[in-house]
Structure 1
Amino acid sequence: MNTNELVDKTVRFLSTTVGRDRVNRFVQYFARFLAWHLQKNGSDKEVLARVAGLAAATAITRKVMRTGRQLEFARGIVKALAIKDDVIRITTIFKSVFMAAWLSFDTCQWIHSAGVYKFENIKEIGSRAFKCWLVALLFSFAGDIYKLQLNAKKISIESKIAKSEKAPADEAVIARRNIKALIAERSKLFITAVQDGVDIILPSAGLEYLSFDSGIVGLAGAFTSLLGGYAHWNSL
């Protein structure tokens, strides 16, 4: 990829909502890690305040950007009803339901922080947001694992056809072509599974189900932001 192609793809990446969110998400969580690191090492309080402020500001910015995405997941529920595989249909529906609920609570948090309306139970709203996000990630992760298992079975079947001496030459060629496509699909599924698995740390720590410090949470969020950005970059 030459310089012009790289610049063009970067522009396309940043022109998408997903691309901008991945960048902001990385900044948010890396700044959180950096603030923890600076505090642990007794750095200048002014520098620490600026980094912590950056993390807080990007978090609020992302809440604004996510406002309205509930409709996207509501539409996803309708689409998922047509999926024939029971496991994929159920995990997709429940993931979408809880993602929509999480985003609704998330919007309430933004409304509260912006001063548009002050919720008396804002702490409870924040807790519900984390719980919905966690459940959505668990259903998503379960679906990822199931899809990886299906992928492995398909590769096994196609490999037998490709290696079979009895199979017609045309079928063997098609099987090898299918294997190549399935391996590419496996790579994407693996990245998604790792992303969802690591992301589970974030709401779990927020709910204090896991006793990870702010630095670990920051690194986990920064890592999955890079994974999500990488996947989106390759999709362009």
Structure 2
Amino acid sequence: MSSLAAHAILHPKISQSLAVLATTIGRDKAYRLIQYLARLIAWSLLRKGNVETAARWEGLKNGLATGRKVLRLFRPAEFLQSAMILAQKPVQGPAQIAQLAQIGRQLGYAGFFTNDMIVWLGQIRFLKLDKVQLDRFQRLTFKFWLSGIICSLISSSASIVKLRADSRRFALNADIAKRESGEKGPDDRAREDAERRERGRALLAQRQSLLSQLISDSCDVWIPATGLGYASVNDGALGALGAITSYMSLQTQWKKHAAAGVRKSI
């Protein structure tokens, strides 16, 4: 029994899970997943008339939402820095649309986290804000969040269009290279084939990343839109959408740590 317990505790998947949760982003996404699942469960219980149990899940949701604000206190600086780095990169042609939208995304999220921090400071009475002021900052939080998501949607869409054109050029160049490979030695052909496969895998990975971001933003956009009154989505649907995007983000973090583990072993 002890060996079975030790095997379970020391399992590589457990170790990788702990590595993900050891990061601030990993913990935030895990808390977010539980938060939105609690929102969905509370809504479902309320529909069934189970008010007392629903209140417990509502309390869990609110507690996690408050806790996540503490984890995100210094994130505005992170997004402002990313916006400045992107603005300094010289980009020409169609990629400019994606770059400008990405800068807008970084600025939108910087504004979102800044106002979110002000709301939290007001809630704990560190800042003297009345209910009207808190509501105003909360609305600004939703506006910045919505603008950041919309810019992200534009950036991902523009990047996918550019990637499609790059993929066509890559396929065309690959065909030309194959026709001309008969004049080269076997070592040169093998090297060029390996390079083409590597380039193809990179394009595919980039496409999957962009599609994942597009799906995530398409789900998340309804949360601030509903908070602002631009849309009317019930708490159950918002909980489900938030849980889906949280799980997707956790998967991304999981893959990053898995790739880091492979590089270390090599």
TM-score, structure 1 length as denominator?
Answer: 0.93
Q: Is residue 234 of structure 1 aligned with residue 240 of structure 2?
A: no
Match of 2:111 in 1: 101
Q: Which moved more, 1:155-164 or 1:181-190?
A: 155-164
Q: Which moved more, 1:116-125 or 1:67-76?
A: 116-125
What is the CA-CA distance between 1:162 and the residue it aligns to?
A: 2.5
Assess if the C-alpha contact under 8 Å between 1:161 and 1:172 holds in 2: no
Q: Give distance in 1, aligned partners of 2:211 and 2:23.
A: 24
Aligned to 1:205: 226
Aligned residue identity for 1:206: G
* Residues 1:72 and 2:78 are matched in the alignment: yes
1:143 to 155, 161, 168: 155
1:159–1:175 contact (8 Å) kept in structure 2: no
1:189 aligns to what?
A: 210
1:33 is the counterpart of 2:40: yes
Match among 54, 61, 72 for residue 55 of structure 1: 61
Correspondent of 1:174 among 163, 172, 195: 195
Deviation at 1:89, TM superposition (A): 2.4
Q: CA deviation at 1:232?
A: 1.2
Shift of 1:172: 4.9
Instruction: Give the corresponding residue for 1:113.
Output: 123
Residues 142, 228 of structure 2: 8 Å contact kept: yes
Match of 1:88 among 80, 98, 101: 98
CA RMSD of the aligned region, Å? 1.6
* Cα drift, residue 231 of structure 1: 0.9
Q: Quote the Cα distance in structure 1 between the aligned partners of 2:146 and 2:163.
A: 25
Q: Is this contact kept in 1: 2:98–2:154, CA < 8 A?
A: no
Equivalent pair of 1:188/1:231 in contact (CA under 8 Å): no
Which structure 2 residues correspond to residues 3-42 of structure 1 after superposition, within 5 A?
4-42=11-49
Q: Unaligned stretches of 5+ in structure 1?
A: none
Gaps of 5+ in 2: 1-7, 182-188, 258-266
Alignment of 1:154 with 2:166, yes or no, is yes
Taking the aligned partners of 2:164 and 2:75, their CA distance within structure 1 comes to 33
CA contact (8 A) 1:24 1:62 kept: yes
Q: C-alpha displacement at 1:158, in angstroms?
A: 1.4
- Per-residue deviation at 1:5? 1.8
Post-superposition offset of 1:189: 1.4
2: CA distance, partners of 1:167 / 1:125: 63
For the 8 Å contact 2:38–2:57, the answer to whether it is kept is yes
Q: For the residues of structure 1 that align with 2:70 and 2:249, how far apart are their CA atoms?
A: 19
| 1:166 shift after superposition | 2.7
1:161 is displaced (CA, Å) by: 2.4
Q: Distance in 1 between matches of 2:142 and 2:102?
A: 19
Measure the CA separation in 2 of the matches of 1:204 and 1:25: 18
Q: How many residues align?
A: 234
Paired AA for residue 104 in structure 2? F
How far the C-alpha of 1:118 sits from its partner, in A, is 3.2
For the pair shown, the structure with the greater C-alpha radius of gyration is 2
Does the CA contact (< 8 Å) of 2:99 and 2:155 recur in 1? Answer: no
Amino acid in structure 1 at the alignment position of 2:22: S
Percent identical among aligned pairs is 26
Give TM-score scaled by structure 2 length: 0.83
